[in-house]
């Protein structure tokens, strides 16, 4: 016997039926950018907010990426604060983290992000 799908799985697959599921669920509520950890302060917290603002539209960074994003914030804050003491090794680490988090145009292109046409969204939603 197969296990039934969760309501969010049904929403994402397009098999959600309003007459059978909770009306409180929506596809938009399925994604949430990770909250900034309490121990990040000042410049680190500012960088987290900048990444949040820039990347929420792509819905790529999840809770599983939180440790990588923390490291990215620490390294970028160090670069902004002391660029003379920022070694080539730290630059490589920062670039690698940015790539892993899809923060670079090249890595986002490889992620094959789909930008749907608004008309196509209406067709998909209403079958017109």
User: What pLDDT score does 38 carry?
Assistant: 95
* DSSP string computed for 24-74: T--SGGG--PPPPPTT--HHHHHHHHHHHHHHGGGT---GGGHHHHHHHHH
Report CA torsion sign: 10, 58, 64, 41: negative
User: What pLDDT score does 14 carry?
Assistant: 73
Q: What is the rounded CA–CA span in Å between residue 112 and residue 124?
A: 20
| Percent of the chain surpassing pLDDT 90 | 48
Q: What is the rounded CA–CA span in Å between residue 103 and residue 78?
A: 18
pLDDT digits (tens, 9 = 90+) for 47-93: 999 999 999 888 889 899 999 999 999 999 999 999 999 999 999 99
Nearest partner of 51 among 78, 79, 70, 38, judged by Cα = 70
Contacts of 5 (CB under 8 A, 6+ apart): 13, 15
User: What pLDDT score does 115 carry?
Assistant: 56
Look at residue 97 and give its three-state secondary structure: helix
- pTM of the predicted structure, to 2 decimals: 0.65
The position carrying tokens 């490291």 is 71
User: What pLDDT score does 29 carry?
Assistant: 53
């Amino acid at each position: 016997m197969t296990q039934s799908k969760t309501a969010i799985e049904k929403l994402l697959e397009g098999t959600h039926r309003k007459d059978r599921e909770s009306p409180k669920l929506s596809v938009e509520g399925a994604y949430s950018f990770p909250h900034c950890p309490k121990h990040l302060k000042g410049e680190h917290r500012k960088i987290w907010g900048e990444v949040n603002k820039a990347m929420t539209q792509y819905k790529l960074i999840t809770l599983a990426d939180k440790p990588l994003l923390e490291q990215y914030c620490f390294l970028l804050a160090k670069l902004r604060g002391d660029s003379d003491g920022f070694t080539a090794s730290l630059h490589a680490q920062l670039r690698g983290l940015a790539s892993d988090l899809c923060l670079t145009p090249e890595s986002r292109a490889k992620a094959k992000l789909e930008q749907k046409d608004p008309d196509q969204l209406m067709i998909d939603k209403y079958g017109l």
